[in-house]
Structure 1
Amino acid sequence: MAGRPEILFPLFAGLETLEGVGPKTAQTLAALDIARPRDLILTLPYSGIDRRKRSTVKGADLPGVVTVEVTVGRHQPPSRRGGPYRITVEDAEISFQLVFFNGRDTYLTKVLPTGARRVVSGKVELFDGLAQMVHPDHILPPEEAGEIPDFEPVYPLTAGITQRVMAKAVAGALTRVPDLPEWIDPAQKTRAGWPDWKEAVATAHHPLTIGELSPSHPARERLAYDEFMAHQLTLGLARAKLRRGKGRVSVGTGDLQAKVRAALPYSPTAAQRRAIEEIATDMARPQKMNRLLQGDVGAGKTLVALMALLVAVEAGGQGVMMAPTEILARQHLEGLRPLAETAGVRIELLTGRDKGAVRREKLTALASGEIQILVGTHAVFQKDVDFADLRLAIVDEQHRFGVRQRLELGKKGVAVDVLVMTATPIPRSLALAQYGDMDVSVLDEKPPGRKPIKTALVNMGRMDEVVEHLRNAIVEGRQAYWVCPLVEESEAVDLSSAEERFKRLRASLGDGRVGLVHGQMPPEQKDAAMAAFQRGETSVLVSTTVIEVGVDVPNASIMVIERAEHFGLAQLHQLRGRVGRGEAASTCLLMYQAPLSEGGQRRLDTMRETEDGFRIAEVDLEMRGVGDLIGTAQSGLPKFRVGDLEAQAALMAVAQTDARKLLGDDPELVTERGRAARVLLWLMGQDEAIRLIGVG
């Protein structure tokens, strides 16, 4: 693949090559993540100032910016050192003062000679009924007043950069904007009413009204779309590369699946049936599957995973399911084993704890194909682990598994189909940005038999009632989680809050009834406390937030979350999902310390109103914004300069459809529009994507 197209060279030159940008300014701009003229072009004004000329300050909306022609009157130099320098001026109706601090007489008498006409523009305020303009932004002779725009764009700044410097740098960059070939689908462009790229750039930088600063203005929307399109093309190319990797055709007979279905106490939901079908169809294709299974807490992902693994086994191969921790791997095993055994399939667990003869025996059974389904931690990828015929890898996505890791998994040299499972409902816009290279199956209904969880908000002042409620529940043989907040960042304080609660509950409920889990414990102790709770030896488990996500205790039907206002929505939703897994009606008590902040109140109200994880994720996104929601540092999410993932989710969806269609019609990007798309990829700095076209 050739290097950057020549038409873009001027946009990728050094900043110092722009008029009015010296080495020092260039260095300062780096703080705004601006290193090339192209970055300036994509740094749009976020606000604007109305500088239309008025005949008089009288009747203007003060304090506010006024642009007016005046006759310069008397100069009053400061009476004391450091005092203000005042110049009286007169417009068509009234006189007012221009005020300068540290003003130099020689300069001011030169720029504003008494008796001259000048156009001044700046913020006017009233002091003791007298209008004053402190440090005008513009002072020009009337014949040059055309230089002041009617509506002046306001750019984001950093220390050491003024609006004037920024405006000048941008103006320099704009002189370099070339006419670029069109990469947007013509029908889409017409439908949306978008301008050409060059015109969009010009319009976005020269807004004429405040309305033109809105993300939905055609010029801005187009530029946001360009970023999304480049991102989706990159994901699409990564996806195509994964798919070009020859997969295995795995066609199930349906026999084993039928045995499992017959053994189920209920029939699968429509969502489960749809997901199973989508996965089976993918596995039967000669390309590698790369699918995300997204399901809310308790949506029945385990059954879908098992059916997928059975397709691999029916086709004469093996399947593997990976979990991030040993306790979760064991739990997957417990969930899958009874059903796998009804189908007569051998399923085993492999973790780092397997040593010596036991480990050797498992590896032999795996290499010979006797073990048909393997469940494990990342230990399943160690060098000495050989499969007879591995066809499907399911990754339980508690460890964030980005595009890069997905490509890595493919590099194992095994042509396996990959299914990534996540229990975190992700709003559609983020799913598109983060998993745009994958096909997505969504489980959006709960299996029958899952009872709704009753959620109540309880003031911390009613602690005694809550403990009393627990005492009665324990007598009835029920179990409860009690989660203590991470109040401080320091482990020590959390520890004391959890230990304190543990001691007090033990005192009220009896010594042997209460267990404790916290972050400072060695893993063995943690596992032991969890196991005792799972076996029902303890009735209440006190913990900091380390209740391993996904640990299943069907008999636990009460979840108490202390100081719930300290938790994020996603966390509260995950914690609540630990109960409601068995026969008993479940409750979740959100204990809060009054008074609640507005955000705290909204989070707790949302929890009380809905159990729908996708709805909760949308509210979470509205409240926190994209960066926080996934911790931008490790999210693998791109940073967009113009596009706004939250406000423009629908645009991202259009970009995905368009990018996929373009790559479907022109996988090598060699048609006229394909070549234009290459220019877009270079423009957006997606060099990685360009390499993906190069390496076939």
Structure 2
Amino acid sequence: MSQALGLETVGDLLDHVPRRLVHRGELTSFEDLEMESHATVVAEVVSVRTRKMRSRRGSITEVTITDRSGEAADFLYAGGVDRMTLSFFNAWTAARELSEGTHALFSGKVTRYGGKLTMTNPHYAPLDQDDELGALDAMAHVGRPIAVYPATAKVPSDRIATAVRTVLPGIDWSTVPDPLPLGVADRHGYTDLPTAYEHLHLPPDDRSWYRAKARFRHTEALMLQTALVRRRRAVQLRMAPVLDGRHDGVQSRFEARLPFELTPSQVTVGEQIAEDMAREHPMNRLLQGDVGAGKTVVALRAMLQAVDSGAQAALLAPTEVLAAQHLASIEAALGPLAHAGTLGGDPEGTNVVLLTGSMPQSARRRALLAIASGEAGIVIGTHALLSDTVQFAGLGLVVVDEQHRFGVEQRDRLRDAGDGPVPHLLVMTATPIPRTVAMTVFGDLDVSVLEGLPAGRQPISTHVVGLQEHPSWEERIFARAREEVAAGRQVYFVAPKIGDDDEVPGMTLAESAALLAQTPPAGRSARQGDEDNAPDPAESMVSTVWLSELVARSPELADVRTAVLHGRLEAQEKTGIMEDFAAGEIGLLVCTTVVEVGVDVPNATFMVVFDADRFGISQLHQLRGRIGRGSHASTCLLVTRREPDHPSRERIDAVAATTDGFELAQVDLTLRREGDILGDAQSGGRSTLRLLRALDDIKIIESARAEAGEILDVDPSLERHWGLALAIEAYLDEDTEKYLERG
């Protein structure tokens, strides 16, 4: 029925859950609509006007609709907050079928033009025509609520409702197994499966609809938890190397040379990890700690425990810059202990080896030999570690830094040991992304949390800079950066893209923000909305090229040594720039998100993120973590050219409101949903979960997890619960199910 909606079978259609219910006579509030998103509303037509277009042939029909929310305030004319204007091009049927006073279902993309809500060429279905309503009328005329479905422009809600009503009566329910065991259904007071589907799509009242949703939500939770518990139990039967370390090994000698005391949280988390690694079953632990909380020291202690146990440890980093920094910091922390067998090295130590894709062939061969022979106790690398040419002598521990930068399958490559021992796994993150939060709630990962910051760290002050409201603040940004450099500090200017010379508009950011404020929705002109509009330069993202030009033209930054860092540069050039910046030879670094993770320059105290609305919450928090790493107070400015009520402002306001990464993860999950918790997709844009929501349904998830354990205790193969087994098989193929346990 729709590739975009994934409705290919009758089962897909029945599992397409209505987004909400509406009732005849009730109108949808416009206040809750999200800009730039597809929406379905029930509204009343206020006026209809058709006129000829000015610059091209044809006509435009403008329909004004209302949600009547403004009646109490006497908003009875177009332009009030309770109005929306619909534009139909060459649509004579709309002018004929939509008359004043008509109630109808309208579906389309919601935009704002001239301060007013608009939709262009929306789909509509009048609710007052008894002979043309199809499924909508059949539900409404008996007083049933009307189901409003998630829809697209090509497949609107009323067509989905018609399809559901067509197929529902013809289903032979005796051939459809119920995945929810009878005992579970009775315990929670749920109806049988046919009734649940009828109440989901054709509910007699609101309560029946909510109870049907609760049944399917519980079913989904039970399916996922049964698959998860079953696979987790199977994994626990796999063997892992026992890495119990020793009291007089490299780890104890490293700890003796630490110039600082571990925080209580680092000690506690270290003990949790040490206990896991000393067991004969694989550790699967998530180490969460805010930026600068000291995760790397904890991970290094775990890697040294593996070395002391005669095994190897691998640290997987997302970028070559970060991998090189890990090598430098670990070698500095270990000193002679990192160079066993070399002149000046400690013979009782180990060897640390780096492997990246851009290494010269000779260096790569030496690294591969050291890894294969076991000479290298700690191996640091990027995706190059995942190559089939890399052979470990005895890999005992895999540490993944910034886990959200790797796909699940990529991370698991290092653990794929066939039928042999499975290496222990430690994944680290400074900001849990929605997928990780969801998996944590689902009990897939053992979680350790580092709380607080090491002594001497200063908090970061974060502010949103809206150039539409305050255009003069652009000059102040550059002046503020100059003051920081003059004080001996360093500055990051971050742009969302690299850009090309021909993409740079000849204007300041404030000028482009003002132009953006005047730019109508796509396809609408600023005059009467009936001419095509070319892409406006104000809509382009700030690039490093554009930013570099603005810096070069700024009198405040004329004598500041500036460099540009982005992903198109050769690896050697990127490394050289970062080394110069770390050494204090560069005062201002114009860059992309190549500095997002791991870059450690304690003297950098000022960051400006331009077009911050183009970044996600996790990215912004990670970027901000590049400052505040020393003993000096630090400031982060989140610059946006968007209007104050733009949806993206909610994200950057959230980042400015707190530096708590875990609080931000909760906000991120709420705004973006869980993402695809059963697969590679981690953006949150879509969710494998149909009804479950990790934050809202914790009690249901916990109940389903206990019920899954009870079921598997008496029926491990699910032979007596074949409906549940078939549902799991249909819902989770083998590869997808594995994602549950890989985290």
Using the size of structure 1 for normalisation, the TM-score is 0.72
Residue equivalent to 1:325: 319
Amino acid at match of 1:352: G
Q: Does 1:440 align with 2:459?
A: no
Aligned mate of 2:425, from 410, 418, 430: 418
Distance 1:513 1:139 in 2: 69
- The percentage of counterpart residues that share the same residue type is 35
Partner SS for 1:411: coil
Shift of 1:356: 5.5
Cα separation, 1, equivalents of 2:228 and 2:673: 22
Give the 3 Å change call, closer, same or farther, for CA 282–664 of structure 1 in structure 2: farther
Task: Tell me the alpha carbon deviations over residues 82-136 of structure 1, each in whole angstroms, 9 at most, x when there is no partner.
Answer: xxxxxxxxxxxxxxxxxxx99xxxxxxxxxxxxxxxxxxx999749xxxx98522
Show CA shifts across 1:461-488 (max 9, x none).
1333333333333233211112235498
Counterpart position of 1:475: 486
- What amino acid does structure 2 have at the position aligned with 1:527? T
The yes-or-no answer on 1:287 pairing with 2:260 is: no
Q: 1:641 to 1:172 in 2, by over 3 A?
A: farther
Q: Using the TM superposition, give the Cα deviation of residue 38 of structure 1 relative to its aligned residue in structure 2, in angstroms.
A: 2.1
Greater Rg, structure 1 or structure 2? Answer: 1
Alignment map for 1:132-171 (pairs within 5 Å): 135-137=129-131, 149-154=142-147, 156=149, 159=154, 162=159, 165-171=162-168
| Aligned-residue offset at 1:32 | 4.0
CA contact (8 A) 1:425 1:613 kept: yes
Relative to its length, the structure with more helix (as a share) is: 1
State which drifts further: 405-414 or 524-533: 405-414
3-state SS in 1 of match to 2:472? helix
Per-residue deviation, 1:270: 4.1
- Counterpart for residue 11 of structure 2: 38
Q: Deviations over 1:50-90 (max 9, x none)?
A: 479xxxxxxxxx9889xxxxxxxxxxxxxxxxxxxxxxxxx
Aligned with 1:205 (options 191, 201, 223):
201
Query: Partners of 1:614 and 1:476 in 2: how far apart?
Result: 33
Q: Which residue is 2:334 aligned to?
A: 340
Which runs of 5 or more residues in structure 2 are unaligned? 26-41, 46-91, 103-125, 338-348, 505-542
Tell me, yes or no, if structure 1 residue 466 matches structure 2 residue 471. no
Rounded Cα–Cα distance in structure 2 between residues aligned with 1:551 and 1:588: 16
Task: Note closer, same or farther for the CA distance 1:518–1:377 as it changes in structure 2 (3 Å cut).
Answer: closer
* 8 Å contact from structure 1 (residues 64, 124) kept in 2: no
Residue 304 of structure 1 corresponds to 298
Aligned-partner Cα distance in 1 for 2:582–2:472 = 31
- Paired letter, 1:451: Q
CA distance in 1: counterparts of 2:320 and 2:360, whole angstroms: 15
Residue matched to 1:657: 705
Distance in 2, matches of 1:457 and 1:471, equals: 19
**How far 1:301 sits from its partner (Å)?**
1.4
Alignment match of 2:463 (pick from 425, 441, 456): 456
Q: For residues 737 and 259 of structure 2, what CA distance do their matches in structure 1 show?
A: 52
> Contact 1:48–1:151 at 8 Å: present in 2 too?
no
Tell me what 1:95 maps to.
none
Per the alignment, do residues 324 and 659 of structure 1 end up closer, same or farther by CA in structure 2, a change over 3 Å counting?
A: farther
Q: 1:370 maps to which residue? A: 375
Structure 2: which amino acid aligns with 1:389? G
**Alpha-carbon deviation of 1:299?**
2.3
| SS of match in other structure, 2:415 | helix
Q: Give, in whole Å, the separation in 2 of the partners of 1:630 and 1:38.
A: 20
Give the superposition deviation at 1:436. Answer: 5.8
Return the letter of the residue paired with 1:44.
V
Q: 2:553 maps to which residue? A: 504
Decide whether the 8 Å contact of 2:288 with 2:430 is kept in 1: yes
Instruction: Summarize the Cα distance change of 1:188–1:481 in structure 2 as closer, same or farther, 3 Å threshold.
Output: farther
Segment drifting more, 545-554 vs 147-156: 147-156
The one of 606, 610, 614 aligned to 2:658: 610
CA distance in structure 1 between the aligned counterparts of 2:500 and 2:194, rounded to whole angstroms? 49
- Aligned in 2, Cα 1:476/1:164: closer, same or farther, shift over 3 Å? closer
Q: Is 1:526 matched up with 2:574?
A: yes
Matches within 5 A, 1:172-183: 172=169, 174-176=171-173, 180=177, 183=180
Q: Contact between 1:296 and 1:425, CA under 8 Å: does it hold in 2?
A: no
Structure 1 residue 375, shift from structure 2 partner: 1.3
Deviations 1:357-379 (A, max 9, x none): 54454444444433221212233
CA contact (8 A) 2:496 2:610 kept: yes
SS in 2 for 1:391: strand
| Equivalent residue for 1:537, pick from 572, 585, 592 | 585
What displacement does 1:317 show? 1.6
Verify: 1:549 aligned to 2:601, yes or no: no
Counterpart-to-counterpart distance in 2, 1:202 and 1:556: 61
Select the residue among 410, 414, 421 that pairs with 1:409. 414
Instruction: Give the superposition deviation at 1:312.
Output: 0.7
Counterpart of 1:206, as a letter, is L
Q: 1:246 to 1:43 in 2, by over 3 A?
A: same
Deviation, 1:559, is 1.1
Q: Which residue of 2 aligns with 1:72?
A: none
Distance 1:185 1:330 in 2: 57
Query: What CA distance in whole angstroms lies between the structure 2 residues aligned with 1:366 and 1:488?
Result: 40
CA separation of 1:640/1:457 partners in 2, compared to 1, >3 Å: closer, same or farther? closer
Please tell me the residue identity of whatever aligns with 1:168: R
The alignment partner of 1:393 has SS state of strand
Structure 1 residues 29, 541: CA separation in 2 closer, same or farther (over 3 Å shift)? closer
Aligned length, in residue pairs: 590
Give the SS at the match of 1:454: strand
What displacement does 1:511 show?
4.6
**Alpha-carbon distance in 1 for matches of 2:634, 2:313:** 35
Aligned match of 2:224: 231
Q: Which residue of structure 2 aligns with residue 396 of structure 1?
A: 401
SS in 2 for 1:537: coil
- After TM superposition, give the deviation of residue 309 of structure 1 in Å: 0.6
Distance change (3 Å), C-alpha of 1:642 and 1:590: closer
Matches within 5 A, 1:667-682: 668-670=716-718, 672-673=720-721, 675-682=722-729
